[in-house]
Amino acid sequence: MKKIIKALLILATFSLVSINNLIAAEKWDMPLAYAAGNFHTINADEFAKNVTKKSGGKLTIVTHANGSLYKGDAIFRAVRTGQAQIGERFMSALGNEDALYEIDSIPFLATSFDEAMKLYQASKAATVKSLDAKGLVLLYAVPWPAQGLYSKKEIKSPNDLKGLKFRAYNPATVRIAELTGMTPTKVEVAEVSQAFSTGTVESMITSPTTGKDTKIWENGVKYFYDIAAWYPKNIVIVNKDAWNKLDAETKKLVLAEAAIAEKKGWDVAKAGDAADKKILASNGMKVGVVNDSVKALFQKVGTTLTQEWSAKAGDTGKAVISAYKK
């Protein structure tokens, strides 16, 4: 009889532990704007799988690539409102939320990976604070390779930019279009190929990686100018309410995996910067640099945008720029 009672107690204890684990388990949906083969998506997917595996079932993160759950421009709001627990967003596209998020897309402010990292470190604390005020937790940030100018037609002088239909995806790119005489049209990354094939846009400033991923050469785009304009980042954010449901051990695990994902992402971006330009060239695109007159125009635009951004971002922005330039 004692053996039966002991067995029942063990069974009851095991069942209670199982029920508690079940109750404690969390499932997070992670919308991603980019295609499954994009290095940001691959990195995020690996992060999600590592957290899921190492948490022992406490936290399962399910990724949804290529805007399949939420389109790029809806991801930030979805995470902020708790419709999705975690997500990735191109940071400077959030400029209307806070001018601070545009800092990594100011032309010619940071023109190398080392400078981009220095800018990230100078602005990280302010970014974390801003996101926290919006009910969000920053996990990690990964840059894109240097941003270059794509065009269907050759750009020989500033006049060749006049009236060019230009893909804009954030306030900074809209302003670039205005200052150079191009015509801005908002196009998310998932619609880039269609926009070029239909003639909705004829040019854009983005990374060689995006050009490779979208096979942009198939849509009549013949030129890539390596202007190294800026190194924008994607940020991975978590809804604070969802974050606070995790126990301390799981939070520690998530942060550790986020740090690994961030380092790996930066390394992959650096490698892709050179490799992806070679892929563009191997598919018939002319990869080169702009002439001095066009370069001078972009530098002038960069100076103007830095001044405008500093005025818009106020004391916080000025402090970040000051810290970066030390």
How do the domains of the chain map onto residue ranges? 25-143+233-275, 148-230+277-325
Residue 134 CB neighbours (<10 A)? 14
Mean pLDDT for 191-209 is 95
Superfamily of the domain at 25-143+233-275:
Bacterial extracellular solute-binding protein, family 7 (3.40.190.170)
What pTM did the predictor assign? 0.82
The C-alpha atoms of residue 168 and residue 261 are separated, in whole angstroms, by: 28
- Residue 18 clears pLDDT 70, i.e. is over it: no
DSSP reduced 3-state for 161: helix
Superfamily of the domain at 148-230+277-325:
Bacterial extracellular solute-binding protein, family 7 (3.40.190.170)
Mean pLDDT, the chain, as a whole number? 92
Confidence of residue 9 (pLDDT cuts 50, 70, 90): low
- Residue 234 clears pLDDT 90, i.e. is over it: yes
Question: Cα(first)–Cα(last) distance of the chain, in Å?
Answer: 78
Query: How many CA atoms within 13 Å lie on the side-chain side of 38?
Result: 27
- Residue 274 clears pLDDT 70, i.e. is over it: yes
Tokens of 189: 């990354």
- 52 Cβ neighbours under 8 A, 6+ residues apart: 59, 60, 61
The number of residues making up the chain comes to 326
| Dihedral-angle region of residue 67 (phi above 0 means left; psi in -120 to 50 means alpha; beta otherwise) | left
